[in-house]
Chain A
């Protein structure tokens, strides 16, 4: 019974870590895609 609980927790943790990685990858992807879609002129703007 304890083994099953430990295994359940192990799997839950692995799934949580995987979701965290996917979310982080999405953040990076959205950032890069935004830069690409805005184009190079985004850096040349009045401050």
Chain B
């Protein structure tokens, strides 16, 4: 595709006015932030021992701000791509509501501040993991992989999978096999989740020149890859139960959710023509969000309310 065919969607704002509070809030990608905080909370709650609720809230706030900083730096660097895609053209930088320099400064200050605060309020293992995650997402995924390989979201997905490990590390000062398993679940969940979206938005990605799998290898190959990852994800979801940190509730939930994930992936694989195909991809995309949320909610309920072993994760005592 030549650059001449790529049309940026025109900006609606005057940069000289400066951004409104809502524009800066949008730079933080609040919906991504919510999932990051939620999975980090599960990691923190699932960790052995107890934590003072104030320290837990402070740690989660730092992780949330760190995730927001990643979003702001991503929007700073990807403003050219965002301007060419319908899904992202309304973001603050392509709209001209916040200048690229403003987004860069905002993201950098938040990134440094969140890492320092997490180190001081929790511990430096968690802070190092947060710093590495922000660096990986911005430099490895955004600046390098996203524009160069269809495996972009496979490798880059590691950044979005780390929050449970950061939560665990904030509570214990260490990483563990259990937190690594939670990382693996999100890591393997990411490709079918994003590729389901990419199936729907393939033309958008093509117009922006982003080498997503449906653009480089076609829709059928993407459906095949989605199915493969789904077949890995379903049994992987059982591992916390096998290791013992997922109890009876988790075992039942992951069995049902995993089976339905494969059902939706098979439907997406087999339905390849017309509106039915798009609907199958949309269903899989929506279900994938529900899958991760409910899976981690099951762990949260078991560990957070002492359903599993009777021990609560928080202790108000000074």
Contacts and interface: CB of A to CB of B under 8 A. Distances in A.
B17 A4 contact: yes
A46 interface: no
Contact of B20 (A4, A11, A37, A39): A11
A29 B58 CA distance: 8
A4 B16 CA distance: 9
B318 A35 contact: yes
B28 to A, nearest CB: 13
Contacts, number: 38
Contact of A12 (B18, B24, B52, B317): B18
Interface in A2-47: 4, 7-8, 11-12, 14-15, 18, 29, 32-33, 35-37, 39-40
Interface residues of B, number: 16
Interface string B11-53: 0001011111100100000000000000000000000000010
Nearest to B316: A36
Contacts of B61: 29
B55 A37 contact: yes
Contacts of A39: 318
Nearest to B54: A36
Contact of B121 (A8, A14, A33, A35): A33
Q: Is the interface of A mostly helix, strand, loop or mixed?
A: helix
A15 B97 CA distance: 13
A34 to B, nearest CB: 9
> Considering residues B17, B19, B21, which has the most beta carbons from chain A within 10 angstroms of its beta carbon?
B17
A46 B265 CA distance: 67
A29 B57 CA distance: 10
Given A4-B14, A29-B58, A36 B20 contact: no
Contacts of A15: 18-19, 21, 24
Contacts of A12: 18
Contact of B52 (A7, A29, A36): A36
A18 B22 CA distance: 11
Nearest to A17: B21
A7 B13 CA distance: 12
A11 B55 contact: no
Contact of A11 (B18, B54, B317, B318): B18
A6 B21 CA distance: 16
B53 to A, nearest CB: 9
A39 to B, nearest CB: 5
With most chain B CB atoms within 10 A of its CB, the pick from A14, A32, A33 is: A33
Interface string B84-127: 00000000000000000000000000000000000001000000
Contact of A40 (B18, B21, B121, B317): B317
The 10 nearest A-B residue pairs measured at CB: A40-B318, A11-B18, A36-B54, A8-B17, A33-B121, A36-B52, A39-B318, A18-B21, A33-B58, A32-B54
Interface of A: 4, 7-8, 11-12, 14-15, 18, 29, 32-33, 35-37, 39-40
16 contacts: A4-B14, A4-B17, A8-B16, A8-B18, A11-B20, A15-B18, A29-B121, A32-B54, A33-B54, A33-B55, A33-B58, A36-B318, A37-B55, A39-B318, A40-B317, A40-B318
